[in-house]
């Protein structure tokens, strides 16, 4: 059967299409006429009398209706390409991964002025680079490590009461974060939470009213810079299971804040070492089950020193401040030095 096209048929189809559009029907929602079915359309060669199959290209070349069908086909292809691009954009929206010297690192663009939060979450990639701490810097990876330098930035119009929060988490990777500068720190409230299950936690961090470091089987080796706001007192809690902890408290811009320092370090079988500046004033508690205890420093007075089977306990004081250092482990050693 030969596919026929004529002006009368074209006019009739155009009229029907205009009526459909007036009735709210989309032209794209209509299916092409059966005569345009390239899988079934057959035709005969009029010049030679030999039969042949009418191809898709024949339909596209055969009159204005073929051009309309070709336009629809091209539109369908464009829609498919657009859907594919949207899917790729959705999959890559969480983070961007790039190769750097054979390693992969998660990369997050700096926040826009309207968004003062930087969030980088990834699964197996490491997170490295320099990041600003505006209102929130949230870094998280499952099996990768975190090696970053953090720059404290000025608060926005909400003022210094708006906290600058730094969060770093890893399941099996190491975490090392260092402050870009130890001087000229913006006066504002800071919050720091760092945790890793089996990785090592190290670096330099702010010591503010809410500071915590946690690891299960990894070690903790950190330096803390006091940075409090208003009447807030510096407070830090560290926790580990089987590895050592080495905690150094630095002298801050206001040394008097160490008179209200609250420091708690706990472990099961790891050794804990704490060093504080001489500006600290308060009470020191150190205990272990089977390890060794040493508490020393200029102006430190030993109040109690108990060594009994299965329990060792030392209580000491320095000055008249309200600070408190509480260090405890089960089978590891405890060392506290002030000065």
pLDDT in tens, the chain (339 residues): 333 444 454 555 566 566 555 554 444 444 444 444 444 444 444 444 444 445 555 544 555 555 555 666 666 666 676 666 656 554 444 433 333 323 344 444 455 456 899 999 999 999 999 999 999 999 999 999 999 999 999 998 777 778 999 999 999 999 999 999 999 999 999 999 999 999 999 999 999 999 999 999 999 999 999 998 888 999 999 999 989 999 999 997 888 999 999 999 999 999 999 999 999 999 999 999 999 999 999 999 999 999 988 889 999 999 999 999 999 999 999 999 999
Pairing of strands 164-170, 272-276: unpaired
CA pair distance 100, 86, nearest whole angstrom: 27
State how far the alpha carbon of 302 is from the alpha carbons of 291, 308, 324, in Å. 18, 17, 14
The pTM is what? 0.68
pLDDT for 310 equals 84
Identify the pLDDT of residue 1: 37
CB–CB of 294/327 below 8 Å? Answer: no
Q: How far apart are CA 167 and CA 182, in angstroms?
A: 19
pLDDT for position 84: 61
Specify the pLDDT at position 25: 47
Query: What was the pLDDT predicted at 229?
Result: 87
User: Can you read off the two tokens belonging to residue 136?
Assistant: 């929130």
For 140, what's the count of Cα atoms within 13 Å in the CB-facing half-sphere? 8
The DSSP call for residue 126 is B
**What is the structure's pLDDT at 18?**
60
Burial of 321 (0-12, 13-18, 19+ CB in 10 A): middle
The predicted pLDDT at position 27 comes to: 44
What confidence score (pLDDT) does residue 160 get? 75
């Amino acid at each position: 059967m030969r596919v026929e096209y004529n002006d009368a048929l074209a006019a009739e189809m155009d009229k029907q299409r205009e009526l459909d559009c007036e009735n709210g029907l989309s032209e794209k929602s209509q299916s092409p006429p059966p005569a345009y079915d390239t899988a079934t359309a057959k035709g005969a060669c009029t010049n030679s009398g030999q039969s042949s199959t009418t191809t898709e290209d024949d339909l596209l070349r055969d009159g204005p209706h073929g051009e309309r069908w070709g336009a629809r086909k091209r539109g369908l292809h464009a829609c498919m390409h657009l859907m594919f691009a949207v899917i790729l954009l959705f999959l890559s929206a969480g983070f961007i991964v790039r190769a750097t010297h054979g390693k992969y690192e998660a990369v997050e663009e700096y926040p826009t002025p309207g968004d003062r939060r930087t969030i980088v979450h990834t699964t197996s990639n490491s997170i490295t680079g320099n990041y600003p701490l505006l209102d929130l810097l949230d870094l998280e990876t499952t099996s990768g490590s975190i090696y970053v330098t953090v720059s404290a930035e000025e608060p926005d119009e909400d003022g210094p009461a708006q906290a600058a929060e730094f969060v770093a988490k890893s399941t099996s990777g190491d975490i090392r974060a260092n402050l870009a500068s130890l001087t000229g720190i913006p006066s504002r409230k800071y919050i720091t939470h760092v945790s890793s299950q089996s990785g090592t936690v190290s670096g330099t961090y702010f010591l503010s009213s809410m500071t915590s470091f946690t690891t299960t089987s990894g070690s903790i080796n950190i330096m803390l810079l006091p940075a409090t706001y208003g009447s807030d007192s510096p407070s830090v809690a560290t926790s580990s299971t089987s590895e050592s902890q080495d905690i150094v408290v630095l002298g801050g811009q206001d040394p008097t804040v160490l008179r209200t320092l609250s420091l708690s370090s706990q472990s099961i079988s790891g050794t804990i070492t704490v060093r504080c500046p001489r500006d600290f004033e308060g009470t020191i508690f150190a205990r272990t089950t089977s390890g060794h205890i040493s508490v020393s420093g200029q102006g430190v007075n030993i109040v109690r020193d108990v060594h009994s089977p299965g329990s060792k306990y030392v209580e000491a004081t320095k000055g008249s401040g309200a600070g408190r250092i509480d260090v405890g482990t089960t089978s590891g050693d405890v060392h506290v030095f002030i000065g």
